[in-house]
Amino acid sequence: DGYFYHMMRQCRYSSKDLQGIELITSYVFNQAENIRFNSTVGKFVGYTELGVKNAEAWNKGPELAGELGVLERFCKHNADLHYST
C-alpha cells in the first residue's frame, strides 16, 4: 500500500570505442515506466500523459545536460572496469 517510485540507470557497452556507450535512465512510478532518457536518442521520452509533459520540460531544462553528464562521468569513466571483467 502506498506508492512505488524507482529510477534505474544502465550503461550499455557495445564496443571498446567510447562512442559506442549508451546510457539509459528509466523513471518508473507504480510499475509503469513514465519517462526514459536514452543517450542514443539524445533526449527524454515520455510514455504516459504525465511522462510526456515532464519529458518536454526536462528536454528544455538543465535535466538534459545532467543526463549527458552522467554518460561522461559514470559510463565512460567506468568503461575500463567493464571491459576488464
The pLDDT tens digits for 23-79 are 999 999 998 999 999 999 999 999 999 999 999 999 999 999 999 899 888 888 877
Fold of 5-84: 3.10.320
C-alpha 7/C-alpha 48 separation (Å) is 16
C-alpha 6/C-alpha 18 separation (Å) is 28
C-alpha 52/C-alpha 14 separation (Å) is 29
pLDDT value of position 14: 80
Domain boundaries, the chain: 5-84
Using a cut of 0.85, tell me whether the model's pTM lies above it: no
Going by C-alpha positions, the residue among 48, 40, 33, 85 that lies closest to residue 67 is 40
